[in-house]
Amino acid sequence: MINLILFGPPGSGKGTQAAFIANKYNLLHISTGDLFRYELSNNTELGQRARAYMDQGMLVPDSLTIEMLKNKVLSHPDTDGYIFDGFPRTIPQAEALDTMLAEMNQSISALVALEVPDEEIVERILLRGQSSLRADDLNEEIIRKRISVYQAETSPVFEYYSLQNKSHSVSGLGTIEEITQRLSNLLDNML
């Protein structure tokens, strides 16, 4: 089993690249955003529990997110592995993910970070906002806040997996095809 974490700040291209990697290596692309949308829109028991937190303006607990991930993983036993996009975002989430995988006799194969300078991230998200019309993609102040939250809370996950010799970086600059080629070269040499 190949279990990858595609890592990087908002706007770094994780979702785009995860789709290519999932297709090339027969991995199931698991986006926590997609998981939440599925559980909420289908009004599942997990979705109802998540909504109770969200309706109060609270973050959904890691344990509930892990339950959603586990359901998704267990419902796709025939894949060659998983690519986690947008998760883990904190060290406790990384520890919970490692525990979940260990219970299935699996582990994270690698974390691959897309490195993109902050100013490029701001430009990309503002450009994306023109078509997404998401309020958080149209406000530079909010974008910069998202970047600072990523740096403070999420970037330590890179070091967490680095201590296990599993963290790698790839430049997230250039065309989509150039970035895909860099990722493929790295993964072909690792896997």
Query: Phi-psi bin for 186: left (phi > 0), alpha (psi -120 to 50), beta?
Result: alpha
Q: pLDDT-derived band of residue 2, with 50, 70 and 90 as boundaries?
A: very high
CATH code (residue 86) = 3.40.50.300
Helix or strand or coil: residue 89? coil
Whole-model pTM: value is: 0.88
Give tens-digit pLDDT for 43-102.
999 999 998 988 887 778 889 999 999 999 989 988 999 999 989 989 999 999 999 999
Residue 45's domain spans which residues? 2-190
In total, how many domains does the chain have? 1
Give tens-digit pLDDT for 110-158.
999 999 999 999 999 999 989 987 888 889 998 998 899 889 888 999 9
For residues 25-29, average pLDDT: 94
Q: Where are the alpha helices (DSSP H) in the chain?
A: 14-25, 32-41, 45-54, 62-74, 91-103, 118-132, 135-138, 140-149, 156-162, 176-190
Number of Cβ within 10 Å of residue 159's Cβ equals 10
